[in-house]
Amino acid sequence: MISFSRFWLTLKLCDMSTYSLIKDYHISGSTINRLRHNKPISTATIDRLCEILRCDVDEIMEYTYNTK
């Protein structure tokens, strides 16, 4: 399972808000919602978030093996 919990920590460490992502960087509200609910997002969006936050992919998302 992919989790975006690290995204929220990185966002806070960068002193940035979701409002700023939406208004200043034109990240859609639906993308923020997808991140909040650990839903799939495109690799292009992941690339853009890494660029905005100046971070690596592992600072935005992590994979956890699901044994179910």
Q: Can you give the pLDDT at residue 67? A: 75
Angle between helices 18-25 and 29-36 (to 10 degrees): 150
Residues written for the chain? 68
Structure tokens at 60: 């935005």
Q: Which of helix, strand or coil describes residue 11? A: helix
**68 residues of the chain, pLDDT tens digit each:** 999 999 999 999 999 999 999 999 999 999 999 999 999 999 999 999 999 999 999 999 999 998 76
CATH code of 2-63, in short, is 1.10.260
d(CA 48, CA 39): 17
Where do runs of H (alpha helix) occur along the chain? Answer: 5-13, 18-25, 29-36, 43-53
pTM, to two decimals: 0.90
